[in-house]
Amino acid sequence: MAFVVSSGQLATTGGGVTQGWAPPPLRAAPWEYATIWRKQPQVRTVIGFLARNIASIGIHTFRRLSDTDRERLSDHPLAEVLAAPLPRVTQFRFIERLVSDCALYDDAYGIKLKLNGKLRILPVPPTLIHPYGGNWIAPEYYQTPGGRQFGPDEVLHIHGYSPDNLVSGTSPIESLRELLLEADESAKQRAAMWRGGARMTGVIERPLDSPEWNDKDKRRFREMWRAFTQGGGAEGGTPILEDGMRYVPVGFNPEQAQYIESRKLTREECSAAYFIPPPLIGILDHATYSNIKEQHAHLYQDTLGPWLVMFEQEFGVQLLPDLPGDNAGVYCEFNIQSKMRGSFEEQAAAASTATGGPWMTRNEMRGRNNLPAVEGGDELIVPMNVTEGGLASPRDTAPDSTGAPKSGRGPGVKSARPSGLGTAAGERDALSVSLVRWTEKAAKGLLAAAGAKSASPAAGGPLAKAVMPDLLELWAAGHEDRLAQLQVLLADHGFRLAQIGAWDVLDIWNPEAEGWSADVMFAWILAAAETHAEQHEQAGTDAIAAVQDEPGDDWQTALQSAAAGWATAAAVRAVTASTELRSFGGHDAAGASGLTRKIWRTGGANPRPSHKALDGESVGLDDVFGNGLRWPGDSGGETKELVNCKCDLDYAKEG
């Protein structure tokens, strides 16, 4: 076997090793990456997600004393340089920049400085520094735009993988370039469409037997059409097609072009390139509390884990040798435990069970609540059921002689269900009343603004004739306010409905609600409220558009009928949303209680045939039923399977 002798200088071994090799040139690509980050919201979302989450973890310095012991070093030079890389630069901003640069360029740079005798790091954007010379193993030096050169030992350089050298990384943006270019072109096409008054491109057909036009006629029509199409048609009025002309659209309309699906696909591809679970960056199509909770653990283990290890090892290799003092056994580590801990209730339950007794004094708990200490509050109080009752933990209520796991409400186990929570039917009716009243109020506002209020048939006599205003314009004026009000209304009732559904399951299987918290459902409930609000608002818009599209002398009556129809749709929407929210709450509680099977129970006086056929069907907790739904009312399914559904679920354990 042959060896290369380099006198300890690894950088000198590259000559002649790879023929034709040259250091990576200073390309225009870094500037392109910066432009992509500024203009592509999906790229900025995923990179910002990585950088903010890693920077928020915090990094600590330790010395390893043995395989089972270590000590925290808060005054070690490594801890100091990571805590304050530069004057007025926080650890958060320092880590955020390094992660962002690595994610965008696959290269991150920092120049090592000596300030007041201490090592400090100046982060440098990859567009302003570049390796030169050397070989495929290591560069000879780094150079900044001003011509200043720095040796490899004067630069902190963290980079990823490149298939052809060990000097620099390859940006993930390269693999996304074509997809991002397609998204950019799509955005340009949409912008052009809106500049043209949201009209599609098309051609004008003129019958062959039409009178022949002279040059003056052609010029007149061309100028009229140009005045209409330029500037969105706002100043050109309405075009007049003469001699039996026909406007024939060509190209895709927005629905056919699938703009929303395209934008979602771009975000999904970007998240996949950085190994981020889609629900964590707002893609909630198949999100549930159970899988979001699992993906939260996945985030810090599989998504951020490799990043954290990379930075920990790079700091140890590139910074530690430059620091004075005893560095034996010193290393840094991100404080990931702070993110992986459960809620305080979960931590307290686990600690109490693990220690077999109380683990906090009264004064420690008072301190957590900003209360002063009390005399005698520094002693642990051990309940009698632990010292004399033979129990392993003060959280137990009775010894389990069989050792069998709990699988439901046992004798003497009282449910922790909150008082005053109400029933599913009562809360569903309350939502229906609230949503219908809100809908009627919003409709009356439009009727008054349109001057149709006075056209009530109850007033007697013929309806007053008036020119119909632009109803859609009047309606659009209050769009944002209506959406906000709807979301609040739906989220308020939805949170109670989800809790009712959850406790219907917990009362049977987990009456003390161990491992479950209502608060963790709130993010999903907000997303569901937003979806239902947008759908209900769109239903109102569609009803008004139908009146707008068919103007007539009786438009006022038509508008009143549309308003009444929207109020009827509100009652149906309330039932649909109630079923979904209650079902989600029960499903969430079932997952937290260790249940593994769910059984469809058809409900309602006249269930649809597809639901009647499902009655009794049993599937795994994370599977879907024969109609493609995860639970009754699942908004991810087809609309025909959701509307006015009153079905329910039962749950069971395997075996």
Q: What share of the chain is helix, strand, coil (3-state, %, to 5)?
A: 50, 10, 40
pLDDT the model gives residue 155: 95
User: Which of 88 and 457 is assigned the larger pLDDT?
Assistant: 88
Backbone angles phi, psi at 114, to 5 degrees: -110, 110
Q: What is the dihedral sign for C-alpha 644, 597, 522, 298?
A: negative
Run of H or E including 599: strand 597-601
Confidence of residue 635 (pLDDT cuts 50, 70, 90): confident
Confidence of residue 84 (pLDDT cuts 50, 70, 90): very high
Bridge partners (DSSP) listed for residue 123? 110
Backbone angles phi, psi at 76, to 5 degrees: -75, 150
CB 545 within 8 A of CB 472: yes
CA dihedral 578, 516, 620, 650 (to 10 degrees): -50
Tell me: the pLDDT tens digits for 594-630?
A: 888 888 888 776 777 888 888 888 888 888 888 888 8
Among the residue ranges 218-222, 455-459, 535-539, 570-574, the one predicted with the least confidence is: 455-459
Bridge partners (DSSP) listed for residue 122? 111
Distance of CA 379 to the CA centre of its chain: 45
CA angle, corner 463, sides to 460 and 467, nearest 5?
160
Confidence of residue 475 (pLDDT cuts 50, 70, 90): confident
**Which residue has tokens 């290591």?**
138
pLDDT the model gives residue 401: 37
Spatial separation of the C-alpha atoms in residues 334 and 318, rounded to whole Å: 17
Confidence of residue 404 (pLDDT cuts 50, 70, 90): very low
Task: Provide the 10 A C-beta neighbour count for residue 459.
Answer: 10
Tell me: the pLDDT tens digits for 283-339?
A: 666 555 555 566 666 777 788 889 999 999 999 999 999 999 889 999 999 988 766
Whether 27 has a pLDDT exceeding 50, the answer reads no
The fraction of the chain above a pLDDT of 70, given in percent, is 75
pLDDT the model gives residue 462: 45
Among the residue ranges 280-284, 479-483, 533-537, the one predicted with the least confidence is: 280-284
Q: What is the dihedral sign for C-alpha 414, 417, 421, 424?
A: negative
- Paired tokens of 634: 């699942």
Spatial separation of the C-alpha atoms in residues 29 and 26, rounded to whole Å: 8
Spatial separation of the C-alpha atoms in residues 641 and 608, rounded to whole Å: 8
- What's the predicted TM-score (pTM) here? 0.49
Whether 237 has a pLDDT exceeding 70, the answer reads no
CB environment 197-236: b (16+ within 10 A), e (fewer): eeeeeeeeeeeeeeeeeeeeeeeebeeeeeebeeeebeeb
Query: Can you give the C-alpha Rg of the chain in angstroms?
Result: 33
The residue type of 182 is E
- Paired tokens of 502: 């959850």
Whether 390 has a pLDDT exceeding 50, the answer reads no
Tell me: the pLDDT tens digits for 504-530?
A: 888 888 888 888 888 888 888 888 888
Among the residue ranges 54-68, 91-105, 362-376, the one predicted with the least confidence is: 362-376
The fraction of the chain above a pLDDT of 90, given in percent, is 18
Tell me: the pLDDT tens digits for 187-207?
A: 666 666 556 555 556 788 888
Mean pLDDT of the chain: 78
Three-state DSSP state, 606: coil
pLDDT the model gives residue 402: 38
pLDDT the model gives residue 86: 92
Spatial separation of the C-alpha atoms in residues 535 and 538, rounded to whole Å: 5
Among the residue ranges 162-176, 313-327, 568-582, 604-618, the one predicted with the least confidence is: 604-618
Of 331, 319, 273, which Cα lies nearest the Cα of 47?
273
